[in-house]
Amino acid sequence: MTGEHMSPDEFRRLGHEYVDWVASYWERVGELPVQSTVAPGEVFASLPASPPSTGADDLAAVLADVDELILPGLTHWQHPSFFAFFPANTSGPGVLADLLSSGLGVNGMNWATSPACTEVEMRMLDWFVELLGLPDHLRHDHDGPGGGVLQDSASSATLVALLAARKRVTDGGDLSRLRAYTSEHAHSSVVKGARVAGLADDQVRLVPADATHAMRADALADAIEADVAAGLVPFFCCATAGTTSSMAFDPVPEIADICATSGIWCHVDAAMAGSAAVCPELRWVTDGAERVDSWSFNPHKWLFTTFDCTCLWFRDARPVVDALSITPVYLRNEQSESGAVVDFRDWQVPLGRRFRALKPWLVMRHYGADGLARHIREHVRLGRLLADRVLDDPRFELAAPPALNLVVLRCTGDDADRRTTELLERVNASGEALLTPTVLDGRPAIRVCVGQTWTTQVHVDALWALLERSLSS
């Protein structure tokens, strides 16, 4: 009879088939075109207009549809020649943890709704503090008001920090005098978060950057001083440790000092670059973390943790709880009322919470600190290898100083901007690799981000050969 619940035995059988399909996909993904070539609406049109009236007898048949209908419409982020955006590098332990989370199906909104969901997360955030060399006052087991929480993305982390900062200076009402600050090269999520927090775009000051594309601390101080003189209320600043376009590092220690002097909440977005701190020799990426109000990074970018998983820490979490805690009677319980537990629903915008902490738990238990550091070091080495080839070839130039696993390049010579754009288009159209465009100093450039799980020097060498071949075509 169709429409019945799947039995544990049937789930077990199908689970083996689905896991086998994923494993086979990982084995063959390098042979597929990196970027999808379907036309707009093509996948939509290939699916039935109405849902089935009776259920399928065997969901194994769906895998054939995945191969035929879904795969052609995917850009393969797990392809070893995926050098675009950032490395959303999944892994076996990350996927297995997602399976566990989905199978358990718990909602960890309060401690009482599943104590392990909360307490494993607390311990994982403390593990990350040690793994990255962050200050101890961010730990849950430290005697203080700080601690960390998992969010879905850096965008949500920035929004939560914004809301806490807003609560610290106003209980609502007229927000028109509030002013926030970030670099002109900061991620768009800062302005988007400000919109959600009730601010207009012009209430976010985009502070000029220096020649390395990092925020100028003196320009930040000048902007704050001018706004105070105009009767406005500076309340939030987002510094970036590793900007999207060029991996520039804002001077966090100086920015934090300026913010502290002015009573401004200082948040750091270290979305991808924060992962590099698993290598002790690269812990300069966390400079200034001991002075800021909040600090975040994404294990799902470059740390083999399946999307989504973002770590957000607070030096003092009380303003966050003040901003986001609403407790109707159906959420009250003895443990929460006693103050003896953490309710992470008060540390985020949604109420519901999935068991994300299983992902870093399995990933760290599989790789260990040494294993994670080894893979990060190799990606940094491959990035430097590519940068050196750019420097040695007069047909190319670096558009920004090479940093960690990111290389930003452009063509040289006559009509360089047009040829840079055309080069990028040829490479991406080839299906052999995928790169991302950006603009630096008003000119087009090409971002190459090395960090996919299965990327090796073979793939970086192939990319360089493709760039040379595409340049001359």
CA–CA dist 359, 101 (Å, integer): 9
Q: Tell me the one-letter amino acid at 150.
A: L
Question: Is the residue at 62 inside a domain?
Answer: no
Which candidate, 366, 244, 385, places its Cα nearest to that of 304? 366
The per-residue pLDDT string of the chain (473 residues; one tens digit each, 9 = 90 and over) reads 567 888 999 999 999 999 999 999 999 999 999 999 999 999 999 998 988 888 766 788 889 999 999 999 999 999 999 999 999 899 999 999 999 999 999 999 999 999 999 999 999 999 999 999 999 999 999 989 999 999 999 999 999 999 999 999 997 788 999 999 999 999 999 999 999 999 999 999 999 999 999 999 999 999 999 999 999 999 999 999 999 999 999 999 999 999 999 999 999 999 999 999 999 999 999 999 999 999 999 999 999 999 999 999 999 999 999 999 988 888 889 888 888 899 999 999 999 999 999 999 999 999 999 999 999 999 999 999 999 999 999 999 999 999 999 999 999 999 999 999 999 999 999 999 999 999 999 999 999 999 999 999 999 999 999 999 998 76
Cα–Cα distance list, 448 to 79, 83, 329 (Å): 14, 5, 52
Distance CA 281, CA 153 (A): 26
Distances from the Cα of 187 to the Cα of 86, 161, 239, 283, 382, angstroms: 13, 15, 10, 22, 25
Buried b (16+ CB within 10 A) or exposed e, 227-236: beeeebebbb
Residue 170 counted as domain residue: yes
Asked, for residue 407, whether it belongs to a domain, the answer is no
Q: Is 392 a member of any domain?
A: no
Indicate whether 378 belongs to any domain. Answer: no
Q: State the total domains in the chain.
A: 1
Token pair listed for 422? 């055309």
Residue with tokens 């990606």: 379
The partner residues of 90 in beta bridges, in order of sequence, read none
- Does 332 map to a domain? yes
CATH number at residue 352: 3.40.640.10
State the pLDDT at residue 473: 62
Rounded CA gap, 109 and 353, in Å?
5
Q: CB–CB of 187/194 below 8 Å?
A: no
> Are residues 147 and 317 in contact, defined by beta-carbon separation less than 8 angstroms?
yes
189-197: long-range contacts, CB 8 A cutoff, minimum separation 24: 189/153, 189/154, 189/155, 189/158, 189/159, 189/269, 190/158, 190/238, 190/269, 192/155, 193/155, 193/158, 193/159, 193/162, 194/162, 196/159, 196/162, 197/159, 197/162, 197/163, 197/166
In a domain, 72, yes or no: no
Separation CA 458–CA 451 (nearest Å) = 13
Cα 335 from Cα 60, distance rounded (Å): 45
Q: What is the pLDDT of residue 59?
A: 83
Tokens describing residue 32:
């597929």
The pLDDT, as a whole number, for residue 58 is 74
Residue-level pLDDT at 466: 97
Residue 88 confidence (pLDDT): 87
Look up the domain containing 214 and give its range.
Answer: 99-362
Half-sphere exposure of 163 (CA within 13 A, CB side): 22
- The reply to whether 391 falls in a domain is no
List, in order, residues 6 or more apart from 419 with CB less than 8 Å away: 411, 413, 471
